[in-house]
Chain A
Amino acid sequence: MRNYIIKRILLSILILFCVTFIIYAVLRCLPASYVETMAMQLSAAPGAKPYDEWIAQLNASYGLDKGIIAGWLTWLQDFATGHFGDSWKFTVPVIEKFNDVIWLSFVMGAIALVLELLIAIPLGIIAATKQYSRADYAITAGALIGISLPPFFFATLLKLVFAVKLQWFDVSGLVGRNFAQLDSLGQFMDKANHLFLPIVTLVITSIGALMRYTRTNMLEVLNADYIRTARAKGLSESKVIYKHAFRNTLIPLVTIIGGSLPGLFTGALITETLFSIPGMGWTSYQAMVIGDIPFSMFYMTFIAVLTLLSNLLTDIVYAVVDPRVRIA
C-alpha cells in the first residue's frame, strides 16, 4: 500500500506539471489582457505616453515580455519557492485574497454536499427497493427535473418567487443593508438568510444525478446472488438492504463523492455569481474576466492539486470499503 501511494503521488506531480503548463499557455492566449486594458486607460489620460510605450513598459514590469515557456518556467520557480505573487485585480497578495473568500465557499459547499448526500442516498435506496411503485416514479421524476434544471435558470426562478414576489429573502448579496447594526447572532442569521437560496440551488440541481446513481447501483446489488443468499438465511428485509446491500452500493458511490470533494473549495461559479456571493467562484470569475494571471494560475493549480488528491483519496477509501481491491 505504501509503495502504491508513493507511486501515485509521484505520478500526480508529473500530471501537475503538464496541467500548469497548459493552464498558463491558455491564460496567456486569452483575449482579455489585463495589461492591454491598463495601457489603454493610461494612454488615454491627457498628456500621457502613447499606448505602445505604455504597453512595453507594463509588459516588462508584469513579466509578460517573455515567451510562454519562459514565462511558465519563471512562474514555476516562484510557485515552487512559495512566492505566489500579488493579484493584479485585487492588488493584494494572492494568498490573502484566497484566504478571504475560500471559507465562505467551503461552508456553502459543505452544507450543500451534506444535504445532498442526506437527501439523495436515502431517496435512491427507497426508489430502488420499491421499484416501479408510485414512490419510485415520483422520486425518479423529481430527479429528472433536478438534473434538467440549469442552475442559472433555477436560481433566477427562485429569486423571482421567493425574493421578488414573496420577499422572504434578498435578491443577492451576502449581507443585508443593516448588517453593521446587528449583534453577532443577528449577523449570523442575516448571513444564513442570504445563503439559503444559493444553497437550495446547489442542492436541488445536484441531487438528481446522485440519486439516480444510487438507485441504479442499489438495483444492481439487490438483484445479486448474495442478496438472495442473505434472504435465504432468514435475515429481515431491513438487514438485507441496509447491511448486505448498502455496503456494496457504497463502492461506486465513493467514486462520485470523492470526485465532488474539490468542488467544496473551488466554489460554485454560476450560483455565486448569480447571487453576488463573494466566494471563491465569484472571485475567480472576476479575476478571469479581467485577465488576472497570478490569481487565475493559483486558483486553477489549486483545483488541479485538489482533484489529484481527491482521486488518490478515493482510491484509498475504495480499498477500505471493498476488500477485493485491497493492495498488499
Chain B
Amino acid sequence: MAKNKPEGYLSAKESRRISKENRRITNQYEKERKRKKVPESEYMTTMHDPNNAVEFDNLHTYFFTDAGTVKSVDGVTFEVPIGKTVGVVGESGCGKSVTSLSLMQLIQRPQGQIVEGEIRLNIGDNKAYNIAKTPNEKMMNLRGNYVSMIFQEPMTSLNPVFRIGEQLEEVIALHAGEGKDKEAFKQRTIELLKMVGIANSEGVYKMYPHELSGGMRQRVMIAMALACSPKIIIADEPTTALDVTIQAQILDLLRNLKNKINSSIMLITHDLGVIAEMADYVVVMYAGRVVEKGTVRDIFTNPSHPYTIGLMASKPVVGKQVDRLYSIPGKVPNPVNMPNYCYYKDRCEMCVEGCSGAYPEEISLSDTHKVSCYRFYEGKGEK
C-alpha cells in the first residue's frame, strides 16, 4: 500500500486509526490517574538498596503521537546512590530529558505516559515512593521538596512577570513555610541567593528576571532547586546555554552545594568533559535505552559499547593533532519504527555475527561496569 511513499507517510485512514487508538490508550491511563483517594499501597514501596536515592527500574515512557507511538524511554534501569552524581550522556533525542521528566512526572500528558516500570524515590525511614504510580496531589508535595530540577534554558525558565524574590519565596512557602512569617521567607531567600554566589542579593531579590544575565538566572534557578534541600537534584544540561567561563563556575557551585546538603545529582549532558569533571557514575543512553553504564573510571578508561567509543572519539583532546573531528556516521533510527535488532547496528563499525539477532541483553564486564553489546557475548564471535 505504501509503495513509492516516503518513509513515515501515513494515509488519512491510518492516521485516524492511530489517533483513535491513542485516545483509547491515553484515556485509560488518565482515568487510572484521575481516581480519587488512591490507596497508599499502590505507590508506597521500599528501595531495593537503601543506599540509593533513586532507582529507575525498567522504565518505559511512551508518547502516543498521531504519527505512531514514540518509545522515548524503553526499558531504562539505573540507580542514583545517595550523595553521588550520576551523569547521563547521549545525543539529542535519546531520552535523557524524558527520563528525568518522568522522575518529576512532568511529561506532557495525556500524550506522554509511563507505561511500565518503576521509579523508586527514597524519602528515608525505609520508605519510598513509586513515582510511576504516585497520584498528582502527592506528587506536588514531592516536587521541589524531595526532587528538584534545574532546566537547561535559564533565559526562559523564570516567569518574566514576577520578581526573583517572589518566585523563590513561593517554593519555600510551599514546602517549608509552616509557622513562618514573610520576614523569615525573605531572610531565607536572601540567604539562598548569597549561597549561590550572587553578591547583590538584596538588590536581586527585588529584580525581575529580564534584569539579570543568563549566568545569574541559572544561579537563581539553582537557588530555587536547592531551597528545600532536596534528596535529588536533576540538572538537565545546566550549562548548555552558558558561556564556558560561567559553565565552570556553575558546575563548581553545584558540586559544592550538593556536598553541603548531601543530596544526589542526576546530571544530564552531552558534554563528556562535564561528566568527567562532575560525575561519579555514568549512564550512556542511545535511542531510549541504556547501552552502557559504570563508574567514571570504567567508562573513560575502558569504553566498551561502540557508541560510547564513538562518543569518546568525537570529543577534541588537548595536545592531539587531528584535521577533522570524528563523527559517528548515520543517524538515530526513526523512533516510531525501532528495528528489532540492536538499535546501533546500522551505524556500528564493529559489528559481529550476533548483531542481527534480538536486542542484546545487558552483560556485566565488572561489578560496576555493564554494557549491552554482542561483542562481549562469549562464543558469539569475538573478532
Binding site for B on A (CB under 8 A): 224-226, 228-237, 244, 247-248, 251, 321-324
Contacts and interface: CB of A to CB of B under 8 A. Distances in A.
B144 interface: yes
A235 B106 contact: no
A225 B171 CA distance: 17
Interface residues of B, number: 28
A247 B143 contact: no
A224 B140 contact: no
Contacts of B208: 323-324
Interface string B212-248: 0000000001001000000000000000000000000
A237 B160 CA distance: 19
A228 B210 contact: no
In the complex, which of the residues A224, A231, A248 has the most CB atoms of chain B within 10 Å of its own CB atom? A231
16 contacts: A225-B156, A226-B158, A226-B160, A228-B106, A229-B151, A229-B158, A230-B159, A233-B224, A234-B145, A234-B174, A235-B140, A235-B174, A244-B162, A247-B161, A247-B162, A323-B161
Given A228-B106, A323-B208, A324-B210, A234 B159 contact: no
Given A233-B171, A234-B140, A234-B174, A323 B159 contact: no
Contacts of A234: 140-145, 171, 174-175
A247 B208 CA distance: 14
Counting chain A CB atoms within 10 Å of each CB, the highest count among B143, B161, B171 belongs to B161
Interface in B331-349: none
A17 B170 CA distance: 51
A193 to B, nearest CB: 44
Given A229-B159, A247-B159, 15 more contacts: A226-B156, A229-B224, A232-B106, A232-B149, A232-B151, A233-B143, A234-B142, A234-B145, A235-B140, A235-B170, A247-B161, A322-B160, A323-B160, A323-B161, A324-B160
Contacts of B79: none
Contacts of B106: 228, 231-232
A69 B67 CA distance: 66
Interface string B130-169: 0000001000111111001101010011111110000000
B162 A228 contact: no
Interface in B68-106: 104, 106
Contacts of B151: 225, 228-229, 232
Contacts of B161: 247-248, 251, 321-323
A5 B170 CA distance: 35
A252 to B, nearest CB: 13
A228 B236 CA distance: 13
A238 to B, nearest CB: 11
Contacts of A230: 159
A223 to B, nearest CB: 9
Contacts of A321: 161
Contacts of A244: 159, 162
Nearest to A221: B159
Interface string B165-201: 0000011001100000000000000000000000000
Contacts of A324: 160, 208, 210
A244 to B, nearest CB: 5
B210 A323 contact: yes
Contacts of A322: 160-161
Which of A224, A225, A232, A235 has the most chain B CB within a 10 Å cutoff? A232
